[in-house]
């Protein structure tokens, strides 16, 4: 079921419970804010069944970091709790990811940004080959998890050292030069890990496409297996990619282009960056 239909059904349940128009409008606003955050993190919202508790914690952490008023944060938590409890009670999802969502007075999970050394250790200890390929690709390309899952075979141009990211944030495409470690990981995945399935998608499973929710679940499973206490997520590797390059001296304009930010006010700076300059940037990762 589409999110828009879910939100409308949720609103209908609130009308039936005699909530005011003002309250229902506030609930809609809060849930749509969550969907906008998913747009930034995953390109598009995942199916509701794939939303995790760590997704919601990170969303609320971003809201707190944005400097929202305490009253707004409290209302946003209440809206999310009520929406997912409604979805769970209706049988739309088996578990309620918002059941333990922190209150505004609590300490939200911080954005974890592993160092290059920590990423190397995580990848070295990873035993699940698909998870290794996902995490390694995220770190060495800075892709959003939705962008990774949407890659087609024709988008991964290893002979040219190029990755074509289509329908990214804002509906535009971008070309990413691949560093040697990225090419090695993608080559290994394609030749040794990828199942023999009839799919145009580069990352696939035996049963079909790799979804952002399943990829996130694999990362969380590996985090638990390795005993990592920090909230390691797909976005942690994107964050680590940007931070590592910035600390190596890559300027913010190049980073904005590599990460595919969609702020219309910054689009003009992207066209002034040559592919050679971007290739030089990603090759700083060793």
Query: Where are the domains positioned within the chain?
Result: 3-89, 116-282
Residue-wise pLDDT tens digits, 85-128: 999 999 999 999 999 887 665 545 556 789 999 999 999 999 99
Give the residues across from 176 on adjacent strands: 163
Mean of pLDDT over the chain: 85
pLDDT digits (tens, 9 = 90+) for 168-189: 545 568 899 999 999 999 999 9
Cα–Cα distances (Å) from 251 to 104, 115, 180, in that order, read: 35, 19, 21
Instruction: Give the rounded distance of the alpha carbon of 93 from its chain centre.
Output: 20
Give 206's DSSP letter: T
- Domain covering 116-282: architecture: Orthogonal Bundle (1.10)
Kindly report the CA angle at 169 between 78 and 244, in degrees rounded to 5?
90
CATH pick for 3-89 out of 3.40.50.1820, 1.10.10.10, 1.10.3720.10, 1.10.150.130: 1.10.150.130
Among 80, 95, 88, 5, CA closest to 37: 80
Verdict on whether the full-model pTM lies above 0.75: no
Residues 7/31, Cβ–Cβ less than 8 Å: yes
Same fold, 3-89 and 116-282: no
């Amino acid at each position: 079921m589409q999110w828009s239909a879910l939100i409308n059904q949720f609103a209908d349940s609130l009308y039936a419970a005699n909530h005011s128009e003002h309250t229902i409008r506030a609930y809609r606003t809060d849930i749509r804010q969550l969907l906008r955050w998913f747009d930034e993190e995953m390109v598009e919202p995942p199916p509701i069944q794939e939303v995790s508790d760590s997704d919601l914690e990170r969303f609320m952490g971003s809201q707190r970091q944005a400097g929202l008023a305490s009253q707004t944060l409290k209302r946003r938590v209440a809206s999310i709790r009520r929406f997912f409890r409604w979805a769970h009670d209706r049988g739309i999802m088996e578990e309620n990811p918002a059941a333990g969502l922190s209150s505004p007075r609590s300490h939200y999970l911080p954005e974890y940004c592993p160092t290059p050394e920590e990423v190397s250790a995580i990848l070295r200890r990873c035993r699940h080959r698909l998870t290794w390929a996902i995490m390694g690709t995220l770190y060495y390309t800075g892709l959003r998890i939705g962008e990774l899952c949407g890659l087609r075979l024709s988008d991964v141009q290893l002979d040219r050292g190029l990755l074509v990211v289509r329908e990214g944030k804002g509906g535009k495409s971008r070309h990413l030069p691949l560093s040697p470690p990225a090419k090695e990981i993608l080559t290994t995945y394609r030749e040794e890990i990828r199942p023999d399935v009839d799919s145009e998608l580069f990352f696939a499973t035996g049963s079909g496409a790799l979804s952002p929710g399943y990829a996130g679940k694999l990362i969380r499973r590996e985090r638990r297996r390795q005993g990592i206490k920090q909230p390691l997520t797909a976005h942690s590797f994107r964050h680590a990619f940007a931070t590592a390059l910035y600390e190596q001296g890559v300027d913010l304009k190049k980073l904005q282009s590599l990460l595919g930010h969609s702020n219309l006010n910054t689009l003009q700076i992207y066209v002034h960056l040559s592919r050679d300059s971007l290739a030089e940037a990603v090759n700083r990762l060793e």
